[in-house]
Amino acid sequence: MTPWSLARRSARMNPSLIREILKLAERPGVLSMAGGLPSADSFPVDAIAEACARVMAQAPRQALQYAASEGYGPLRDWVAQRLAAMGLRASAEQVLITSGSQQGLDLVGKVLIDAGAPVAVESPTYLGALQAFNPYEPIYAGLAGDDEGPLPGAIEALPHDAPGTRFAYLLPNFQNPTGRVLPEARRDALVHAAQAARVPLVEDNPYGDLWYDEEPPAPLAARWPEGTVYLGSFSKVLAPGLRLGYLLAPESLYPKLLQAKQAADLHTPGFNQRVVYEVVRDGFLDRHVATIRARYRRQRDAMAAALVAHLPALSHWRAPLGGMFFWVRLPEGCDALGLLPNALAAGIAYVPGLPFYAHAGDPRTLRLSFVTLSPQEIGDGVAVLGRVLREHLDAQGEVAP
Amino acid sequence: MTPWSLARRSARMNPSLIREILKLAERPGVLSMAGGLPSADSFPVDAIAEACARVMAQAPRQALQYAASEGYGPLRDWVAQRLAAMGLRASAEQVLITSGSQQGLDLVGKVLIDAGAPVAVESPTYLGALQAFNPYEPIYAGLAGDDEGPLPGAIEALPHDAPGTRFAYLLPNFQNPTGRVLPEARRDALVHAAQAARVPLVEDNPYGDLWYDEEPPAPLAARWPEGTVYLGSFSKVLAPGLRLGYLLAPESLYPKLLQAKQAADLHTPGFNQRVVYEVVRDGFLDRHVATIRARYRRQRDAMAAALVAHLPALSHWRAPLGGMFFWVRLPEGCDALGLLPNALAAGIAYVPGLPFYAHAGDPRTLRLSFVTLSPQEIGDGVAVLGRVLREHLDAQGEVAP
């Protein structure tokens, strides 16, 4: 008999379906459109290697010693300046460097969520945020939405439908998984609704720099600084393996988030913070992100063309204006999770949409990443997907005419 | 009016008194014995710089990409082998790489502590562990102890005194703050008591390699593998700024700890894990730790001699056999926190003992670090401490004869 008793919250921690799918998708020969990874070909290897050498030559003992929980001062300054240029009311004192923006989500949950308290999320939303919040045992209030994002009316209804909602978690730019971006007018309407409902916002923006057609509108946090925690990341614009993100918090919240950070891991590795600062300090990031945009735009265009060419009638999608994903709704009779074994057997992989919903989701949805395959491979992979779907629909038609 | 409502647990997160003291201790001209930092002169800068260059030359894209939540396979293998050599039943599958052992403490708290559940801790204990556990709202059961560590009777009494105790948190080797080590017989007696009481153990071992006289006995985890989570760290033997630790968990707990890790920060930076693996893979660590031991032993001896020479009568301490700290109990009439301003004014700093107690503590205690000052500076600093104490005692004698 085990001597261990688990905390109640551990019942809300569960193995990730996506992790299991990704393991299957890693088999040799599988064209995987399942991953949530950026393209490793986009990593600025030379710049990072040079920065490592510079940090180890110039300040090795400082970089390798314990450091402040708030983060490395010059990097906090840099982040604050970048956010200010986006229209945010950002001072370095309100910037907290985190171990990836995933940690930012954990800290927000730790400081704000009581067991049984409502948290409003989009339907669907980012799976990793649900995983970060779940251990704090919220009750999720799903926000109805359309192709322009959550509906302001859904926020307005929160005081009635989910009184005491701690915050609404929103991804305005090229959301994972749907890829959709909130237009200017929707942003304004949502912020006004949130202010009226007194529901503060947690704004997650890992993909904002990855726009392929036009720059997205200013963040929600620019419209309601004291009511918004803003989360950013270097994972999609430099490299995720350094685990470096940041948050910008209102003055009333910052001290508790900082104390939660200190309790969680003391501080984000100082070495990594200095390396990234060395890489970005001279304006490198804007030049580099332009190359990622050009690369991903070609891949986005290839997938858009391939979907038109190969997906069966009554499939639905909208080509995203940024980010890394297409979100596809299959024709009636197609269950994305149920069809995954067929897809894997045929040599491709995708992620079914269900895990992205806090509540019951749409089983006909799936997510396709376009950033890790070449345009040629994207064409091949989508052609296989189309064949798998048509074979299934044809077989269905035979049994149920 | 702020729109934010804080979670109840946030009332248990508070600014660290020690952080405030350390800020004061950083003033130029202060001989600080307050820090909990290893000596930056002990960092193997060349080996780490070479390892960085090697990783960036040989596997940059893998090192910079997202990676497994469990940790980098070869590093997990290396840790398992090292732990097995210490007598632990360690397979790589049970090793979880963490962002410093502070994160190990947070994960353990997240998975095991319900609000109001008892957690047994030594008196005093490591402050950072209290900070990690506090957000999960435990009730602390203080374990009575002596110079050989907690008393087995205190563990035996837990089912009566604190029924449902989730675990006992123990630091057998050169504990922070007291420096004491548990002898072989006490380890056996504590494990037997814990097994009888069905109270599992969380064993924290950041200092075990820093022994100056003889190697400490085998860990508690070697005596009760299925009832012990073991935490280790590279912070004190390589460098803390890389934020790299690990835990070894029984099979029944590992999956939940892994899910908690994934939710907290996805994974510890793969780059850092590969760099440390490159540094340690060929046996470097044993050679390097021997140099740290020689350095710290000289400093320990210098502080032992200085305390004998300079502290007033009726001060009490025992020279530690390892680690980084002396724990001093001042004579009656001396309040360590109250005297700190005098000490800072005289140009030295220490940490008062009170923050290390979960409950009311002994105000006459203080902690002195011997690892960041030279033997000469240690002699000077302790001489000043002795003078501050004697001036205070003399003044007391004058007002209250």
Which element (helix H / strand E) includes A360?
Answer: none
Q: Which residue of A has its CA nearest to B234?
A: A64
pLDDT in the model for residue B265: 96
Q: What pLDDT shows up at residue B200?
A: 98
Choice among A241-255, B21-35, B155-169, B229-243 with the minimum mean pLDDT: B21-35
What residues of chain A lie within 8 A of the CB of B262, using their CB?
Answer: 16, 19, 131
User: Which of A70, A251, A266 should be substituted to probe chain B, the one whose Cβ sees the most B Cβ atoms within 10 Å?
Assistant: A266
What secondary structure letter does DSSP report for A211? B
pLDDT score of B36 = 86
Residue A352, preceding peptide bond in cis (omega within 30° of 0) = no
Q: What is the pLDDT of residue B273?
A: 98
pLDDT exceeds cutoff 60 at B400 = no
Q: What is the predicted pLDDT for the residue at A351?
A: 95
Contacts of A195 in chain B (CB under 8 A): 3
CB contact under 8 A, A102 and B264: yes
Contact of B230 with B83, CB cutoff 8 Å = yes
Please indicate whether residue B157 or residue A35 has the higher confidence score (pLDDT): B157
Residue pLDDT, tens place only, A51-103: 999 999 999 999 999 999 999 999 999 999 999 999 999 999 999 999 999 99
- B18 vs A64: CA distance, rounded Å: 21
Beta strands B118-122 and A145-146, pairing class: unpaired
Give per-residue burial for A349-379: e unless 16+ CB within 10 Å, then b: bbbbbbbbbbeebebbbbbbbbbbbebebbb
Q: Do A132 and B264 touch (CB under 8 A)?
A: yes
pLDDT at A278: 98
pLDDT given for residue A73 in this prediction:
97
CB contact set of B397 (below 8 Å; sequence gap of 6+) = none
Q: Name the residue among B13, B250, B263 with its Cβ closest to that of A256.
A: B13
Q: What's the whole-number mean pLDDT along residues A347-372?
A: 96
Residue A374 predicted with pLDDT over 90: yes
> pLDDT digits over A291-341, tens only?
999 999 999 999 999 999 999 999 999 999 999 999 999 999 999 999 999
Q: What is the mean pLDDT of residues B215-239?
A: 97
What is the share, in percent, of chain B residues with pLDDT greater than 70? 99
The CA distance from B248 to B262, in Å, is: 16
Nearest to A114 among B8, B52, B65 (CB): B8
| Residue A139 pLDDT greater than 80, yes or no | yes
In this complex, how many residue pairs, one in chain A and one in chain B, have their CB atoms less than 8 Å apart? 255
Nearest to A271 among B99, B132, B241 (CB): B241
**A61 and B41: CB-CB below 8 Å?**
yes
Reply yes or no: is the peptide bond before residue B38 cis, omega within 30 of 0: no
- Chain B residues in contact with A19 by the CB 8 A cut-off are 262
Nearest CA in chain B to A39: B65
Residue contact A241–B66, C-beta within 8 A: yes
CB-nearest partner of B6 from A5, A41, A112: A112
A211: tokens are 């726009």
On the question of pLDDT at A396 being above 90, the answer is no
Spatial neighbors of A27 by CB under 8 A, at least 6 apart, are: A344
Judge if the upstream peptide bond of residue A401 is cis by omega within 30 degrees of 0: no
Q: Hey, are the CB atoms on A61 and B40 less than 8 Å from each other? A: yes
pLDDT of residue A398: 76
Picking from B4, B48, B253, the nearest residue to A252 by CB comes out as B4
pLDDT at A399: 62
- Chain B closest-CA separation from residue A110 CA (Å): 7
- pLDDT above 80 (res B319): yes
Q: What is the average pLDDT across B381-390?
A: 98
Can you tell me the mean pLDDT for B62-85?
A: 96
Give pLDDT, residue B399.
Answer: 62
The pLDDT of residue B28 is: 85
Mean pLDDT of B97-112: 98
Instruction: Give the nearest chain A residue to B56 (CA atoms).
Output: A49
Distance from CA of A338 to the nearest CA of B (A): 25
Residue B369 near residue B35, CB atoms below 8 Å: yes
Exposure string (b/e) for B318-346, b if CB count within 10 Å is 16 or more?
Answer: ebbbbbbbbbbbbbeebebbebbeebbeb
Q: What is the pLDDT of residues A30-59, one digit of tens each?
A: 999 998 899 999 999 999 999 999 999 999
Q: Is the pLDDT of residue B396 over 90?
A: no
